[in-house]
Amino acid sequence: MLTVSHLFQKSLQLSALALGIAGAIAASPASASGFQLRENSVKNLGRANAGTAVANDDASVVSNNPAAMVNLDKTTIQVDATDINLDANFTGGGTTALGTPLNGGNGGDPGAPKVVPAIAVVVPVGSLRFGFSVGAPFGLKTQYDADWVGRYNAINSDVKTVDFNFSAAWAINEHFSLGAGVIYQRTNVTLSNAIDFGTALCAGSGNPANCFNPAFPFHPQGQDGMVEVKGDDNSYGWLLGAQWKPTENFAIGYSHHSKISHTLTGNADFTMPASVAATFGALGVTAYNDGAIYAPLTTPSIDTLSARWDINKQFRLLADIQRTGWNSLQQVAVYRESGAPLGPAEPFHWSNTTYFGVGGEWDMSDQFTFRAGIAHDESPTNDQTRTPRLPDNTRMLYSVGATWHASDALSIDAAFQRISIDSPTVNVTSSSGSHLVGQFDGHANLFGVAAQYRF
């Protein structure tokens, strides 16, 4: 006979992290480590994001380093779009909470192409510059097959973070400038995963042997349900920057993007087989009732140091060192509207990461500029807490790009970036008690196009 206390305790364990909000928030996009996105400039993409805080002819400095807006002497409007396509394949398997093999396929390719747009405007007013930009500094989209072997850990993860930046810069003199900005950040999260109600009910019956009794109505992986969580929030942050040009052909830039604290609010929606719903109803179990939830989230701080050396009028070398404060994500907890936790906090124990990039630009003629770059990007994840929502590891980036100067006012940019990812492993237990072990092999291709108009 089912014991209410045993079943209720098991229900809380299943419902808490089955929501997976921590996993979705922490999961990785194709383009950068953690869930960071750097795709606000196709010019930057073409040189592996080198020189982002000292760019000469790039309106994306509104959000990358507002002090560098002084490099633009005309009103400039720039629109960028980058298609991010992650190809990843999972190899592995696992067991249910009772030790029986997990069934299901490899999940397919979770990384369908995703377009990341951006827009930036810079307006000069004497020694001042004013700028506005819209971009996505963080984001994720992964979708596994609903019946894959890791369905109890993750199925759909969709995170969208949009920054609206309002910046200003002051050219103190010909060598030094300062900039600052206000960030209005909107974050939306949608995610889902399966729940193994069959294992929970037969194991919670008071006689685990029922799980292997054909006459018992509940069996491992026999009564799967689903949970989908949606949440969103708006919050504010800030941006500071400086640029120093000790000589006419050399520049150093630094910027700090603040961390931004959110409290995501939304709803958890559960679906379950009719037999499971009837059993829970008879026992008075409410852990799987639909309802409002909230979860705190802090997007990390970003510190960028850039340099640009104009070797001559045709050729430039650029470099970037970027530090992302991922230690803000040590754990994520999810709560009911009443403040009651949906279970123990999900540990992540992420570490700060460093990005190194170098690139070059060559003005082949008055009409065409060619660029290329290479970069190394650390991952904040670790082997102990990495989940299948996060096929992320240390990566190398290889970029090429070009600009066509169609006229003095209009230019068109294009770029391609290839990202090779060290094969990440997962060895995790889901909230359903299943144990998943395996490895992802993957890479990412990024294609970007942009247009810039100056007047």
Residue 19 clears pLDDT 50, i.e. is over it:
no
- The span from the CA of 46 to the CA of 415, in Å, is 5
- The span from the CA of 370 to the CA of 410, in Å, is 17
- The span from the CA of 191 to the CA of 25, in Å, is 9
- Going by C-alpha positions, the residue among 160, 86, 77, 79 that lies closest to residue 117 is 79
Q: Please give the average per-residue pLDDT across 299-315, as a whole number.
A: 96
Residue ranges and CATH numbers for the domains of the chain are 4-454 (2.40.160.60)
Residue 33 clears pLDDT 90, i.e. is over it:
no
- The span from the CA of 197 to the CA of 110, in Å, is 25
Q: Please give the average per-residue pLDDT across 322-339, as a whole number.
A: 87
pLDDT band at 113 (very low <50, low <70, confident <90, very high): confident
Of 343 and 279, the structure prediction assigns the larger pLDDT to 279
- The span from the CA of 363 to the CA of 369, in Å, is 4
Measure Cα distances from 80 to 119, 135, 158, 376 in Å: 6, 9, 21, 23
Percentage of residues in the chain having pLDDT higher than 70: 92
Of 107 and 14, the structure prediction assigns the larger pLDDT to 107
pLDDT band at 200 (very low <50, low <70, confident <90, very high): confident
Ranges of beta strands (E only) in 38-155 are: 76-95, 114-125, 128-143
CA angle at 142 for the pair 138 and 148, rounded to the nearest 5°: 155
Of 278 and 6, the structure prediction assigns the larger pLDDT to 278
- The span from the CA of 333 to the CA of 36, in Å, is 21
- The span from the CA of 440 to the CA of 383, in Å, is 13
Residue 27 clears pLDDT 80, i.e. is over it:
no
pLDDT band at 343 (very low <50, low <70, confident <90, very high): low
pLDDT of residue 31: 61
pTM for this structure?
0.88
The kind and range of the H/E element at 44 are helix 42-46
pLDDT of residue 287: 85
